[in-house]
Each structure stands twice: as C-alpha cells, then as structure tokens.
Structure 1
C-alpha cells in the first residue's frame, strides 16, 4: 500500500470517534484530493526529496481531516506548524524592519521561512529573476539581496495602490525594475477585484489593469536570460505559465509556483510544467500554519540551458526516427517514475459513487479502494463501524 494512503488512513482511524456528519467535506480541498487520489500519489512519487514528501503528507492529511472533523479540531490535532513554533517565528520576524504596506506575516514568510526558495532551488548572485505578484516589495527586496548588483529583478504588480508602494519600497534597489502589469497567457487588459492581498483578475472586477505574457515582455525588452521565475498570483498561475511557455523552454529557469489557490493546483501545475518537456526535479515547501503558502519548486537538471536544448533536439530526432514511447515520462529527472511503481496502488473505480456515503465513511471507503490489497488495511488498522441505512441500495456501498 502506498505510504501516503497509509498515513491518511491511520489519522482517520485514530480520530474516527470525532467525525462530524455535515456535507462540509464536499466543499473542501480534501474532497478534491480524494477524487484525484492517483494524481496525488503521482505527485508524491515525483517529489525529489524526503522533506518535500513529508510536507505533502502533512498537507493532504490536513485537507482531508478538515472536512470531517469538528471546526477547529484539525488545527489542534494536525498542525502543519505548531503554535509554539509559529510564535517563535513571529518573534523573530518582529526583528526585521517593516516596509510600508507589509505585514508581520509577509516578513515571516519571505525573510524567516524563505518561502519562495528551497534548499534545492535558490536564487544565485547575478541571476535574472521574474517576481510575478510582487505586492508591496518584500519579495523584490529579498531577491535583490540574493542577486546582488550584478543581477536583475523584474517585479510585476497590477494593483495601482500596491504598485505605488512597491516602487517606494524598492527605490534603493537599482537592480529592481517595477512593471505595472499582471501576467497571463497573452497581452491585453483585464478587470481586477480589489481585495487587498487577495486581489485577483476577474470579470467581476472594478479596477482596469494591464496584463502581459512573460513571452511578449521578454521579446519586447530583448532580455537575454531568465534564471528564476516566482509566481504568486491568486490562482492565475496556469494562465501565467501558458504565457511563459517559450521563455521557460528557451532559458530553462528555476521555478517557484504557488499551488494552494485552487484545489487542483497541487497536482495540475506540476503536470503543466512537465508538459513543457524539460528535465526538472520537483520540491515542495509550506510556509503557513494553515494550508496556504504552499510553493512547488522546479529545479533544472542541467546547469546549461543550451545543454537542455540539445537534449530536446535529440529527443525530437529519436521521435522522427520512429523511437517508440515518445519522451521519457520522467523527462530526465526521476528514474523512479510513478509508472514503475504502479503496482503499489490501484485506481479508484469510476463507478464508485462518493455521494452515497456520509462524509466520514466515504473518506474511509475511498482510501480503502485505492489500496493495493484491502486485507492489508483490515488486519493493520481498526475498521470503522458499518453504515446502516434503511434503503437496500445503500448497503452495496458499505465497507466490507
């Protein structure tokens, strides 16, 4: 049985006596995770280090348990970062000088937890960074410090009020260039919902803003290299990645992309990056007590982008020569592909109707069914009580 499945089942078994019965589960990210369990397991296999896998386990457990435990209990039982540790982090963040428009959390996330860098994926001196979703400038100042005077940081922020603060807060950083625009799949104009830190492009918005694609911006300004792209844009990361496709293929930059704004982003954004056909290793980092501030990092497996280009050309030649199988599933980064480990788990039956069960038992049943051998669960973990309903058709979906 897959270790992530075991991890979640143990949490469910340990606290099954606290399960609530409302339909809240169907509205949570955890419900989406259960419906896409095979993709979650594939994400687990693709992560390139044990710390990232442990982070994913904690996040998934939180998301599932938040839908079936009484309100507030998941934070008490399964904190991603404990209250004591968080208090210490806040104390340390208070030592950093504030900039206009930021918050204690902004300083904690950026400077203490270094939420937009991973030990396997960092900004180096002299690199060119695209800070997409720069807000009031904390991340811009952080990246400017990392790149030094020989580097370059392009800070994208569409909100007029935040852009003014951004310009003010980075005025002493000559390597930072502020761009008053959002990033999307193509150039144009859009409407922005004014919601402070959660401002997002939407047809219901009231603020007209300019949007640019990364590809057109790079071409227009004749930028000769892009080394690092950070995206935190309130759910528009897929569109922004589409607009940066050619830049990513050309320069093969390091990527730091937020994956917590929408339920599917945790796995779908990795799938999108993999579709570019570049050799990356993947890592995950979380910088919050709740399930926000989760960032997926993509670290190039070739130090030289030209080397990557040559590899892609060789793959095209092999395809033209009739090489079966197309590109390697791992894109050169992970030999331990999910396909090679498919014998560890089975897909959820498409005929399994989640809505037939109450939230607590449907969660158990879903996790049971993705296991390779249901007997492993029955012998290792206490079973929940059987579901008893008056109507006969419900009995067909109860646990063994």
Structure 2
C-alpha cells in the first residue's frame, strides 16, 4: 500500500487487508486503529524475558483499557493491574479473575481501598497514610508496599516516578513504621514493588533499582514476612522516532541480565514466590495509530500549518509532554514522496498549544490527506477528552486475519449530555 509516506506501516503490514483511507471513510475521522499481530508480538517480547518459575508480566492497564485488547493481552499469559474502580471494572469485563488483578493506587479513599481489597489479589499502597487507611478500612487484607528506590528514569520530568522529587513510594528508612501499621491492623504484607519512570531506553537504572528492591525483600523475608510478589515496575521504552532509525531497546540483553539476577537471588534466598514486571507502554504503544483528516493548509509568514481533526482531545501526549509521534501521509493515488519541507501539524481545538508535530520535515501535506500519528496505542484514547465538546473517536482492531472490526463506537451528541439533569 505504498503511499506518500507509509514505509513503516507497510513494513509491518499494519493495516492488513485494509486501507487507511477506506477505514476513515467507513468508521469516521479521527479514528484509532490497532493491530492484533503487533500487540501479540510486543507481549511476547516481555513474557520471554525470563522462563524462571513465577516470572510474570503484569500489564499496567492505564496505558490502554479497551477490553478487546485486554483479552488479547490475557491470552498471551499476562496478568493485569488497576489504578481505579473503573480500570478494575473493565479488567473484570475482559475476563481477568480476582487472582490476576493487582490494585496499584495512590491518594485514594477508604471506600476505594476497601473495594480493591475485596476484588483484587493484592492492594499496593505507596505511603504510610494509605497503609494506615487500608488497615482501618479492610483490616487483615493482603497488601503490597511500594518503596521508593531513590533512582529515577524517563523521557520527561512528568514521568519520572522514582527518586526524591516524586510523589510516589515509601522511603525505605520508614520500614519500622510500615511494620507497626501492618501489625496493628493485622495486614498481610505479601509483596513489595517500585517504579522508576517511563520510556527509558537503557536497562542500567532499572537493573540497579532491581537490586535495591531485592535487598528490601530479603530484609522483610528475614523478618518473617511471607512475601509472594516482588514487582520491579515497568517503563521500558520503544522507538517513537521510527523514520530516523531509532534503535529498539535491547530486550535480549535486558532479559539475559534480568533472568541472571533473579535466578541467582532465588538460589541464594530460596524464594518461591512471583516476580512481576509492570509494563504498559511497551505492550500497546506500537500496536496503535490514530488516523485523522487534513481540513486546511495555510502559511502564516514563513510557517506552514496543516490543520487536522486530531486535536489534543484525541491525542494529548504532544501537548502534555512535548511527546514525539512519527507521521505518515496517505492520499488517493498517493505515491512515495521524498521531498521534505518544514510543516507544523495542528488540531482543531481553540488553544495555541494544540500542536501535534512542530516544525517537522515532511513531504508536502495537502488538504484532504489522511494522516497517521504512529505509536498511539499507549496513553492515546485513554487520555482523550470532550473538551470543546468534541466527540471521542471510535476504535478499530485489525485482527490476525487482516480484517478490521469495530471495538468502540464513536461517541454521539447524546453521549455528551447523558449524565446531565435537565430541568
């Protein structure tokens, strides 16, 4: 399906038997499109990191909660976490039983903690206050404590979740207070976890933080706590700059180092529980694109703008994090075009910050073109909103057979007012 700029999706047969322009014509614009084969491949990258008994991929559902994708992820052997009652509900809809759901939250109510304790295998808390609240709301429940390893990594300060400048985690020096709260409320401390950040491409900080958490786990086991879960978090990066040849994270090297570290620790300690990694982005980012239509092209002075219907209500990451997404361009009768000119892609929201790609060198974009923002499967639809009363888009899955099926309908004007009480 070679088109104006389509080398990447052509190379992985992303659209299967479909054509992106025909998908937009059939399901509307903008439109999220996912590929089942890509999703399964990414799951297998992670499940193959170690064959150690007890090693599991605990998918971080906040990255994408569509139940159709969750079912595929479960079928690949992954378990799942939830960060809210809503995520817990869709995890259950997708078929995950209680024993396969971990509740990973912060700064939530006693009511929410009690609900999580009743419907999840274990509840993770990341502060003494939340541990105390869980003990009051659900004494005797199974708990995992999130410790801050003092190490952070990520592509933006907004996604670094370890170290001293983050809201997440309990300082390891507060272990005596943790023990006191656990004892007073007869909580069952069955796990420890951590998370250092998101979208790191080098394994060094992750492996260093693993050693910190294993040391904490060993200390707790020596104190008599029956640990069943040691969760090292996620954050593995993937290449967003595909047209620049950005290399992938070396998952083979990561797996060798991770497996070696865990195997040696198991032999040393006799631990028989589970080891979790907790990826979200790596699982779903590359399996999704968002398609949109170019409705206007203009120049303001020397600056060329291509105006699309993909506002930040559809794809928020560029606005929130200055995140980069590669762009593909399709048009009727389009042919590969190597000419490049500096252009800025913008959306349809009445905000100056509604920018998808700033000053990007791309083939000349024309009114009527369909564009794809690549690697939008993670933190795409789940971050969409109805600001400006724009409707959220439909979602389509390209199955293993190469055919498209609707997995979420486009919102309607009636959906916008469904919760209103009109006098």
- TM-score, normalised via structure 1 length: 0.30
More strand by share: 2
The answer to which structure, 1 or 2, has the higher relative contact order (CA under 8 A, 6+ apart) is 2
- TM-score, normalised via structure 2 length: 0.29
More helix by share: 1
